Amino acid sequence: MNIEIIKADNKNSDFIMLINELDKDLRERNGEIQDQYDKHNKVHNINDVIIIYVDNKPVACGAFKEYNTETAELKRIFVLKSFRGQGLSKLLVNSLEEFASSKGYRYAILETGRKHIEAINLYKKSGYTITENYDPYIGMPESICMKKTI
């Protein structure tokens, strides 16, 4: 298995394909609740993207955007179903943290859904702790927000 990690931006066609798959996955898992989250998943203001390729096939992606001058918010983290369980999500999160740190961010934050147990477990294993919901997720009971010093 040949793994390649590339940095890209929100216009990368492989990133767009992967986030379309992510949106389908979220819709299947969350149903109508997803409607209130879709507006927070736009990528027009995301310039820092990572894509993981396995044997030249795009199989995972993630991104971050500035939340404030010290904090990057991780967004759009996804691994194709057929490639889960191989450590790619951990590799993806680590790569995003290194990328954000190289740009001067000291903290990483993220939001995930209460139903996404595997994501919550991944983030906890990666050193994230649950924190108060941050804007725009304040008052959204299905959201779990997490933070880590990077």
pLDDT at residue 81 in the model: 93
Domain boundaries defined on the chain? 3-106
10 Å CB burial of residue 20 (0-12, 13-18, 19+) is exposed
Query: In whole angstroms, what is the distance from residue 69 CA to residue 106 CA?
Result: 9
Residue 62 β-bridge partners: 50
pLDDT at residue 44 in the model: 66
Instruction: Sort strands 143-149 and 3-8 into parallel, antiparallel or unpaired.
Output: unpaired
Which CATH superfamily does the domain covering 3-106 fall into?
Answer: Gcn5-related N-acetyltransferase (GNAT) (3.40.630.30)
User: pTM for the whole thing?
Assistant: 0.88
- Say what the alpha-carbon torsion angle 104, 98, 74, 93 is, to the nearest 10 degrees: -170
pLDDT at residue 99 in the model: 98
The pLDDT profile of the chain, 150 residues, written as one tens digit per residue, is 899 999 999 999 999 999 989 888 776 765 566 455 544 455 567 899 999 999 999 999 999 999 999 999 999 999 999 999 999 999 999 999 999 999 999 999 999 988 889 999 999 999 999 999 999 999 988 899 999 999
Query: In whole angstroms, what is the distance from residue 78 CA to residue 73 CA?
Result: 15
